[in-house]
């Protein structure tokens, strides 16, 4: 979006750091991943966006729920995700 150069640069830097650190520590069985949430339901989101605005912006036509993000984080922290490393995973209802 316009006026968000600083946000985009910071996000790109974080993605690079995740990839680099994953390579650095992956041989020790440590995984490094980032979670990149989109619009998530919260009092702060409700204060600045209506349900109609969210539906127009997000292909899934709704805000994500905090529990959905928590479930992703719990999975990444589990042994089931042991081969997922160096990734930035968007949980955003289809926003790109």
- In tens digits, what is the pLDDT along the chain, a chain of 96 residues? 688 899 899 999 999 999 999 999 999 999 999 999 999 999 999 999 999 999 999 999 999 999 999 999 999 999 999 999 999 999 999 998
| Dist CA 33 CA 35 (whole Å) | 7
Place of tokens 């994953």: 22
User: 57, 39 in Cβ contact below 8 A?
Assistant: yes
pTM: 0.89
> Is 7 tagged catalytic?
yes
Closest CA to 83 of 45, 39, 29: 29
CB 81 within 8 A of CB 25: no
Among the options 4, 7, 71, 94, which is catalytic? Answer: 7
Q: Where are the alpha helices (DSSP H) in the chain?
A: 5-25, 43-48, 51-57, 66-77
Q: Which fold has domain 5-91?
A: Rossmann fold (3.40.50)
Q: What pairs with residue 35 in β-bridges?
A: 89
**Which pLDDT value is given to residue 18?**
98
Q: Which two tokens stand for residue 14?
A: 């974080």
DSSP state of 31: -
């Amino acid at each position: 979006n316009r006026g968000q150069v600083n946000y985009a640069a910071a996000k790109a830097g974080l993605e690079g750091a995740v990839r680099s650190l994953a390579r650095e520590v992956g041989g020790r069985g440590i995984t490094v991943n980032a979670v990149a949430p989109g619009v998530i339901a919260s009092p702060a989101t409700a204060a600045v966006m209506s349900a109609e605005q969210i539906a127009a912006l997000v292909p899934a036509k709704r805000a994500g729920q905090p529990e959905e993000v928590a479930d992703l984080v719990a999975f990444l922290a589990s042994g089931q995700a042991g081969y997922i490393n160096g990734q930035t995973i968007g949980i955003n209802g289809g926003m790109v």
